A and B are shown apart, each in its own frame.
Chain A
Amino acid sequence: MRRWLIALSASLPLCAQLAPPVASYDIRASLDAQKHTITGEQTLTWVNDSPDTVPTLQFHLYMNAFRNSRSTFFRESGGQLRGDRAAEDGWGWIQVNSMKLEDGTDLTPRIRCISPDDGNPDDCTVIEVPLSEPVRPGAALRVSMRFTTQLPKVFARTGYRGDFHLAGQWFPKIGVWETKGFRYAEKSGWNCHQFHANSEFYSNYGDYRVELTVPSRFVVGATGELVKRTDDAQRGTSTYWFAQPSVTDFAWTAQPGFLRVERMFEARKQTTPEELASAARLHGISLEDARLSDVKMIALIQPEHAEQTERHFQALATALKYFGLWYGRYPYRTITVVDPPHGAGGAGGMEYPTFITAGTSYRLPRDVLTLELVTVHEFGHQFWMQLVASNEFEESWLDEGFNTYSTGKIVDKVYGGTSLPLTVFGSNLWSWLRLPKLTQASMDRAAHVGTPVRDPLATRAWEFYDSSSYSINSYSRTGVALRTLEALLGEDTMARVMRAYHQRWRFRHPHSRDFQQVVQEVSGRDLDWFFSQFVFGSRKLDYAVSEIRNRRLDTPVGVFEKGGGKQTVTAKEARRRDEEREKRGEKPQYESWVKVERLGDAIAPQEIEIRFRDGHIERRAWDGQGRWAKFTFTRAAEIESATIDPQRRYALDVNLANNSRKADYNTALSTQWSVRLLFWAQNTMLWLTALV
């Protein structure tokens, strides 16, 4: 190990460790801002926390995803991701120049690229290094490496644009050794996936001490706390020391133009005693355990977004508060939010430990909440990804989806809904037109409903039908599924489930079955039918009320046995008897029935609510198994309407309009709709003919 690294480790105090370190890094790196390259030296201290003897090492070299168009990332994304295109001249790569063990053994010649996921011989985002001496259980291994990273021009997540630099996934990062039986491991081995178009996070916890040297004019932000800064006036460079224990990754940014603003999240001011008491009561914890801690919020803002600085802080504070109250306090002392500049949107909306990138636009209207949404969402990954470190490669729904659910709840609660940008010369017409605010719940449901159900939620990120199926399932559909679960369990139980899951798996690596286990434990219910159909299966849920019939029970006509003889009732006679009954003020009886249908392949227990014209309401349960069911009633009033799932618990149902049916067609309503549609058509036509 190099002497300076020992010195660095000694000189940088770390705040209390929260998780036993498995993969810790001491990194010294400098940025060449002209070439956009990073030259680095790092010492990795890796602890074999498994009962296995480990014969090899595997590392992620994520940056090689941007090396050429034959990488797996490029093949999957087509050089296009989240609306951004790769630049012709903006390739990125990482080169490991040397790799040595503490005893001086040179591992460099043994490095070879492997592609465990797709066997792509042209991909080099994972390397393997055989060791001469395997690592024994419990032993620690120190590996020193020198590397050079060429940042790509930003189009997906990481890179540079002009003098803006966002270094994410920039250093050789060791994979996760999984012993047999851990998560899905059938045999012991490295879990070290290639860099795919979608998904990228799965790492062990460790302590990071990073020394970054950049030209002095740059403003720098990074994971963790800034411990000190020194300036070298001669070289015109500055060196920043950052330290953070118990995290899974380290990212940083540098740009001369950043406005750096700090605010304190003061837990006492942000939460009321009632809120704390209510959280403590709900979760059966002490007030002390419910309490949040103070956090330094750091924002690196583009000058042209200066007027939106407070919006960043408000969103961060909102997220710190609710994630903290709901799932447990944020345990780190800082959170840094980066606002990427124009044209570097690809680097926006990213999450790294204690360090996130958001994204906004010039003069973003106040009622368009994209800034708040992305900030709360990326912060949310501190809880779903960083603190509960599930495997995003294999089960993206556990982090993106859980985060979509949590973010949606917070944003809908605090901000209501968002307007969409319908801007003309910078002013938004959405509110003026009185268009309603859109909630996250409705936007998620729209995405779910509008996309065919093709994959289970729990699918490996690169094995979805296509990129759209990946994103709908990993984000929106999971949000809808968790909302459905919430409706089935009740809001309080769901809140306890989420906190219990978070607390049990904080600083650990759960998988989908672990979540199911917690759900069943906390709720005391067997929910295998839910998980097998909607998480591990891809069933489509659609129930409908298909028919309502009302028939008046008039006096029957024909030949009837009466007093040992036969009596004939003619139609005329029957009519007379009916009229007499009516005169006496007797209400006619009706035989009515409702038919409900299962249109999808998912089966779920249902409740049916039947309303009669006299205001009476009947409820029936249906196990939902058959393709249809019929419910018959004989009452003195006709059925007015019937609704399946009247409480709308199943947000997963792909068609809610057919969940209810009225006996009478609502002509007035459909006329109103038609008139409205006609008016808009007339206006569109007038715009068209204005041209001729």
Chain B
Amino acid sequence: MLPLIAYWSGLGRAWRRKRMLALYWFFHTLCAAAAALPLMAVAVPQLGRSRLGDELMRQFDLAWLAEIASAAGAAAPAVVFAILAASAVLLLGAVFLAAGAVPLLAEEGALYSPETFWRGAGRNFWPFLRLALYSFIPYGAAFAIAGLLRRGAQALWGEGLAARPLVLADYARMALLIVLFGLISTAMDFAKVRLALSGSRQSLRACFASLRLVWRNPGVVFWLWACFAATGAALAWAYVELAVRLEGGGAALVVVLVLLQQAYVLARIVLRFAAWGAAAELDPILRPLPAPEPTPAPVPVHDYQI
């Protein structure tokens, strides 16, 4: 029950932060455009003039991709650079926006104002950035575990004449990797909430404390993650099923398709926010709040005198 409550609460919290959602969407779209722009510059002008353009819109053609690749060979370094640069800006920007968004999602009663948001973003940026870097440790460990499993499977069955055990081991490895990634990612959500609520700057401690929290409550965290993963999968399924019905239609359907695409992107962002909201919902339940740090302000003596 607990994971479901947190899931719903997370969705509710995300839904109430529409301006933050819009901002997050805008930023992603901007970076996506920056990355896609050079690709468009290479691929699109040719098609806008060519009679092949309409044909390719209906039927994707491998040979055409090869044509572009060989025609744009010289531009390849520029395209790669643009994509890398856009990705770097994106990652930093995403940390910054998360730093602003998480406190507002975590404190349910908090009132949104641009100043609150940007203040949070400024205050939490460095701890969040450090957290993102520290998260390489558990993600790396997950990879290492998966690598060990692969080695083990190779040692056991690699010399055999059947691929079946290796393939099945690979399925198991993939499943484990996905779950581990899900759990770690959820743990990092907890860590962000912890950092944002406590105002602490100790990212490493938050990182490991959250991993510990996940370790102690694997069931709750797994099911919470599973709820989000299932929602994500269902959204993707719904998107593909709808999109294929709209492809190749007239101008009106194209507009509908574009709206659908952006709705899908927005829905993914809502899920991201909801995951932070859900972590905030669960955090106080799973973690007995630490004794409040000694407050520097002394208690006025006269309170005791009444």
Minimum CB distance partner of B35 in chain A:
A681
Evaluate contact between A161 and B161: CB separation under 8 angstroms: yes
User: Are B95's CB and A257's CB within 8 A?
Assistant: no
Stretch at the interface among B10-18, B86-94, B214-222: B86-94
- The smallest C-beta distance from A565 to any residue of chain B, in angstroms, reads 49
Q: Does B176 touch A at the CB level, under 8 Å?
A: no
User: B63 and A442: CB pair below 8 A?
Assistant: yes
Which stretch from B51-59, B194-202, B205-213, B286-294 is at the chain A interface?
B51-59
Q: Considering residues A342, A426, A675, which has the most beta carbons from chain B within 10 angstroms of its beta carbon?
A: A342
Give Cα distance in the complex from A661 to B265, angstroms: 35
The reply to whether the CB of A559 lies closer than 8 angstroms to some CB of chain B is no
Contact partner of A668 (CB less than 8 A), chosen from B29, B69, B164, B251, is B251
Separation in Å of the A669 CB from the closest CB of chain B?
5
- Decide if A667 touches B163 in the complex (CB within 8 Å): no
Q: Is the CB of B33 within 8 A of A656?
A: no
Task: Scan residues 156-190 of chain B and give those whose CB is less than 8 A from a CB of chain A.
Answer: 158-164, 166-167, 171, 174-175, 185
Q: Chain B contacts of A363 at CB under 8 A?
A: 167
Whether A446 pairs with B161 at a CB distance below 8 angstroms is no
Chain A residues 656 to 692 lying within 8 A of chain B, measured CB to CB, are 656-662, 665-670, 672-675, 677-686, 688-692
Pick from A162, A661, A667, A688: contact of B87, CB under 8 Å = A688
B91 touches A450 (CB 8 A): no
Q: Which of A443, A662, A667 has the most CB of B within 10 A?
A: A662
CA distance A670 to B42 in the complex (A): 12
Kindly state whether residue B258 has any CB partner on chain A within 8 Å: yes
- Is B66 an interface position by the 8 A CB rule? yes
Checking B48, B163, B174, B269 against A362 with a beta-carbon cut-off of 8 angstroms, the contacting residue is B163
A641 contacts B by Cβ under 8 Å: yes
Interface residues on A, range: 35 or more
Q: Write out the residue numbers on chain B whose beta carbons fall within 8 Å of the beta carbon of A255.
A: 161
Min CB distance A471 to B, Å, is 15
Residues on A with beta carbons closer than 8 Å to the beta carbon of B272: 686, 689-690
With A432-B240, A436-B60, A656-B64 in contact, is A162–B161 under 8 Å at CB?
yes
Whether the pair A661, B185 counts as a contact (CB closer than 8 A) is: no
Query: Which chain A residue shows the least CB distance to B129?
Result: A692
Interface centre among A668, A674, A685, A686 (most CB of B within 10 A): A685
CB distance from B255 to the nearest CB of A (A): 10
A152 CB-CB contact with B under 8 Å: no
B-side contacts of A446, CB under 8 Å: 62-63, 65-66
B residues 25-73 in Cβ contact with A at 8 Å: 28-29, 31-33, 35-36, 39-40, 43-54, 57, 59-71
Neighbouring A residues of B69 by C-beta, 8 Å: 450
Q: How far is the CA of A255 from the CA of B71 in the complex (A)?
A: 49
Contacts of B301 in A (CB 8 A): none
Give the shortest distance, in Å, between B150 (CB) and chain A (any CB). 15
Chain B residues near A682: list those with CB within 8 A.
28-29, 32, 265
Mark each residue of chain B from 101 to 122: 1 if its CB lies under 8 Å from any CB of chain A, else 0: 0000000000000000000000
A670 touches B48 (CB 8 A): yes
Q: Which of A302, A425, A670, A691 contacts B44 (CB 8 A)?
A: A670
Write the nearest CB–CB distance from B187 to chain A, whole angstroms: 13
Distance between A473 CB and nearest chain B CB, rounded to angstroms: 16
Residue of B nearest to A665 (CB): B48
Is B32's CB under 8 angstroms from A302's CB?
A: no
Who on chain A is nearest to B33 by CB?
A: A678
User: Is A655 an interface residue, CB under 8 A from the partner?
Assistant: yes
Note all chain A residues with C-beta closer than 8 A to B159. Answer: 162, 343
Whether B143 sits at the interface, judged by CB under 8 Å, is no
Complex Cα gap A342–B251 (Å): 51
Closest residue of chain B to A434, judged by CB? B244
Q: How far is the CB of B58 from chain A (nearest CB, A)?
A: 9
Residues of A near B33 (CB, < 8 A) are 678, 681
How many angstroms from the CA of A598 to the CA of B90 in the assembled complex?
A: 43
B231 within 8 A of partner (CB) = no
| CA gap between A686 and B45 in the complex, in Å | 27
Q: A673-B57, A685-B31 are in contact. Are A657 and B67 (CB under 8 A)?
A: yes
A686 near B28 (CB under 8 angstroms)? yes
Chain A residues within 8 Å of B49, by CB: 661-662, 665-666
Asked if A433 is at the interface of the complex by the 8 Å CB criterion, the answer is yes
Most-contacted residue by chain A among B132, B161, B240, B244 (CB, 10 A): B161
B50: chain A residues within 8 A (beta carbon): 657-662
CA distance A682 to B135 in the complex (A): 23
Q: Pick the residue among B59, B67, B163 that contacts A655 (CB under 8 A).
A: B67
* A343 and B47 within 8 A (CB): no
A371 interface hit (Cβ, 8 Å) = no
> What B residues does A442 contact at CB under 8 A?
61-63
Question: Which of B35, B68, B139, B185 contacts A685 (CB under 8 A)?
Answer: B35
- Of all chain A residues, which has the CB nearest B40? A674
Q: Which of A257, A303, A362, A643 contacts B167 (CB 8 A)?
A: A362
Indicate whether A342 sits within 8 Å of B163 (C-beta atoms), given known contacts A449-B67, A449-B70, A689-B28: yes
Please measure, in the bound complex, the distance between the C-alpha atom of A689 and the C-alpha atom of B95, giving whole angstroms: 8
Question: CA of A235 to CA of B68 in the docked complex: distance in angstroms?
Answer: 64
Q: Confirm or deny: B123 has a beta carbon within 8 angstroms of a beta carbon on chain A.
A: no
- Whether B161 lies near A688 (C-beta < 8 A) is no
Q: Establish whether residues A677 and B36, one from each chain, have CB atoms under 8 Å apart when the complex forms.
A: yes
Question: Known interface pairs A673-B57, A677-B40. Does A304 touch B265 (Cβ–Cβ under 8 Å)?
Answer: no
Known contacts A436-B60, A677-B36, A162 near B240 by CB under 8 Å:
no
A361 at the interface (CB under 8 A from B): yes
> Nearest chain B CB to A349's CB is how many angstroms away?
17
B254 part of interface (Cβ distance < 8 Å):
yes
Q: What is the chain B residue whose CB lies nearest that of A256?
A: B161
Contacts of A304 in B (CB 8 A): 162-164
Which single residue of chain A is at the shortest CB-CB distance from B243? A434
Which residues 434-460 in A have Cβ within 8 Å of B in the complex? 434-436, 438, 442-443, 445-447, 449-450, 452
Q: Is the CB of A669 within 8 A of B31?
A: no
Tell whether A374 is near chain B: CB-to-CB under 8 Å: no
- Known A-B contacts A670-B45, A691-B139; A678 and B36 likewise in contact (beta carbons under 8 Å): yes
In the bound complex, CA of A341 to CA of B185 (Å): 40
Residues of B with C-beta under 8 A to A303? 162
Distance A184 CA – B164 CA, assembled complex (angstroms)? 50
Q: Is the CB of B67 within 8 A of A361?
A: no
Complexed CA–CA distance, A660 and B53 (Å): 10
Partner of A670, one of B47, B64, B171, B268: B47
Is A344 located at the chain interface by the 8 A CB criterion? yes
- Inter-chain contacts of A641 with B (CB < 8 A): 51
Q: Report how far A257 CA is from B161 CA in the complex, Å.
A: 9
**A46 proximal to B (CB < 8 A):** no
Chain A residues 75-129 with CB under 8 Å of chain B are: none
Query: Is the CB–CB distance between A666 and B61 below 8 Å?
Result: no
Check A302/B162 contact, CB under 8 A, given A436-B60, A669-B57. yes
Q: Which residues of B contact A657 (CB under 8 A)?
A: 46-47, 50, 52-53, 64, 67-68
Quote the shortest CB–CB distance from A412 to chain B (angstroms): 14
B98: Cβ under 8 A from any A Cβ: yes
Within A325-382, the residues touching B (CB, 8 Å) are 341-344, 361-363
Hey, which chain B residues are within 8 Å of A673, CB to CB?
A: 40, 43-44, 47, 53, 57
Given contacts A657-B47, A673-B57, contact A341 B161 (CB under 8 A): yes
Extra 14 A-B pairs, beta carbons < 8 Å, given A669-B48, A686-B268, A691-B132: A304-B163, A341-B161, A445-B63, A446-B66, A449-B67, A662-B51, A669-B57, A677-B40, A681-B36, A685-B35, A689-B28, A689-B91, A692-B95, A692-B132
Offer 20 A-B interface pairs, CB within 8 angstroms, sorted by A: A302-B162, A343-B159, A426-B171, A434-B240, A438-B62, A446-B66, A662-B49, A667-B48, A668-B251, A669-B57, A670-B47, A672-B57, A679-B265, A681-B35, A683-B268, A685-B90, A686-B268, A689-B272, A691-B135, A692-B91
Across the A-B interface, the 10 shortest Cβ-Cβ residue pairs: A341-B161, A342-B163, A681-B32, A450-B66, A660-B51, A670-B48, A689-B94, A445-B63, A681-B36, A446-B66
